[in-house]
Structures are given as structure tokens and as C-alpha cells.
């Protein structure tokens, strides 16, 4: 499948999913807030497609993650009924199997944010910033962690401004005072795992892996060039 056909099919599938999940969301105002992120990202996706910034794999990862985000937006992240779906399929409670007392869909999505989107971020740093070696693995992790922090701050600000049930639905802490910390830690863990997998694959397949890693630590200009 060609690059253009793949991206267009993924866009069509996402549009269909978005239309289905836009029908009677559980909390309409929360759904609107969650979809603001999608609208803001849309121009960036279009620009990335036109300049072929991302690989096919990155587009698939972005598509999958955005679909999960839309599921969370439809039900709210703290109320996605995965436990009921699992019980309907197996007759057992998914949460009881692991001794969970809360809805963990939001935890899963934060982990997958790091796991799925660290690779597209890596491609940005490789193709635009020409990052190599260590920096090609560290910078995606850094952007995942910093963007997770920014998102948690936005959630907190939105909850303070909106207040009431809408603020609580958007925040989705489910009574856990460490919710934001755990979400950021899971995103970081997902990104670390993603970069470790990529580093292992490159170590096995890339002949100049060690040399590129070593050279990424070398100072590229003399100290005199930075003198005031």
C-alpha cells in the first residue's frame, strides 16, 4: 500500500469512528473539551502528511492512539466500561482478576501515550533536528515527559476554572491524590520501553550503531566559537 493511500484510509477510518462516538457521548461538555486537542492537532497532521514527516508505522501508531482517545472522550476516561465489556465476553470481572478497585482505562492510555507516540516524536527529531545517537532516544523521552506535565497542568487549570461535575469528569482522578504523578510516570515508562525496543532493534541491525552513539557525545565546535 502506498504512503498516500495508507494515510487517507487511516484518516477515513478515524473520521468514521469519530462520527460514531460523537453520537450521544456520556458527558457532552467533557467530550467537547477532549476533542479540542484533536482539533488543535489536525493542522499539524495535515502539514506532516504534506511534507512526509512521519513513516507509515508512525501514522498507524498515531491513528491507534487517537482512536483510544476518542473512546475515552465518548465515555470520559474514568468511566470507559471495559469491565462490563470483558464480563459480557467471558462472564468474569476484569478488575477482580487483578484486584483493581478503580477504572484503569486512563492509566492505560497514559502508558500508551508514551509507548505509541515516542516513536513519531523520534522521527521529528531525526528528520528536522538531525538528532543522532543518544539524543535520538533521549529527546523523544524528554518531550513525552514534558508534554505529560503540561497536560496535567492544563487538566488542573481546567478543573479549577470549570469546577463542579464537569471539572471532575475532565480531571478524572477518581479520588486518587497522586493521579497526576502516576499518569506522568506511566507515560514516561511507556516512552522508555519504546526507546529501549528501538535501541535494541537498531543495535542488532545498524552496523554503525556504536559509532553513531559515541559521536553524538562529541562537541561539534570549539569552545572559542561560543565566547562572548
Residue 122 CB partners (closer than 8 Å, separation 6+): 136, 137, 139, 140, 195, 198
- 139 in Cβ contact with 215 (< 8 Å): no
Looking at every residue in the chain, the average pLDDT score rounds to 89
Look at residues 57, 189, 177 and name the one whose alpha carbon lies nearest to residue 111: 189
Sign of the CA dihedral running 122, 125, 131, 135: negative
pLDDT at 154: 82
pTM above 0.85, yes or no: yes
pLDDT at 122: 97
pLDDT at 163: 62
Look at residues 59, 45, 199 and name the one whose alpha carbon lies nearest to residue 116: 59
Whether 162 shows a pLDDT value over 80: the answer reads no
Q: What pLDDT digit, counting tens, does each position of 60-119 carry?
A: 999 999 999 999 999 988 889 998 999 999 988 888 888 887 888 999 999 999 999 999
Continuous H helices in the chain:
3-21, 28-50, 56-75, 82-90, 94-98, 105-127, 135-162, 164-171, 179-205, 209-215
What confidence category does residue 151 fall into, taking pLDDT thresholds of 50, 70 and 90?
confident
pLDDT at 118: 97
Whether 228 shows a pLDDT value over 80: the answer reads no
pLDDT at 169: 58
Amino acid at each position: 500500500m502506498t504512503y498516500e493511500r495508507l494515510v487517507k484510509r487511516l484518516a477515513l477510518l478515524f473520521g468514521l469512528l469519530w462520527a460514531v462516538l460523537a453520537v450521544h457521548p456520556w458527558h457532552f461538555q467533557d467530550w467537547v473539551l477532549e476533542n479540542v486537542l484533536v482539533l488543535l492537532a489536525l493542522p499539524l497532521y495535515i502539514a506532516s502528511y504534506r511534507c512526509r514527516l512521519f513513516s507509515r508505522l508512525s501514522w498507524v501508531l498515531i491513528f491507534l492512539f487517537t482512536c483510544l482517545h476518542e473512546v475515552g472522550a465518548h465515555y470520559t476516561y474514568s468511566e470507559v466500561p471495559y469491565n462490563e465489556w470483558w464480563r459480557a465476553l467471558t462472564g468474569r470481572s476484569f478488575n477482580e482478576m487483578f484486584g483493581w478497585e478503580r477504572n484503569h482505562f486512563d492509566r492505560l492510555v497514559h502508558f500508551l501515550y508514551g509507548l505509541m507516540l515516542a516513536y513519531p516524536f523520534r522521527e521529528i527529531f531525526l528528520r528536522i533536528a538531525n538528532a543522532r545517537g543518544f539524543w535520538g532516544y533521549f529527546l523523544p523521552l524528554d518531550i513525552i515527559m514534558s508534554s505529560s506535565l503540561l497536560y496535567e497542568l492544563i487538566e488542573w487549570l481546567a478543573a479549577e476554572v470549570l469546577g463542579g461535575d464537569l471539572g471532575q469528569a475532565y480531571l478524572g482522578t477518581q479520588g486518587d491524590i497522586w493521579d497526576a504523578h502516576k499518569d506522568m510516570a506511566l507515560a514516561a515508562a511507556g516512552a522508555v520501553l519504546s526507546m529501549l525496543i528501538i535501541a535494541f532493534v537498531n543495535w542488532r541491525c545498524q552496523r554503525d550503531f556504536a559509532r553513531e552513539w559515541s559521536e553524538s557525545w562529541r562537541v561539534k565546535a570549539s569552545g572559542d566559537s561560543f565566547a562572548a
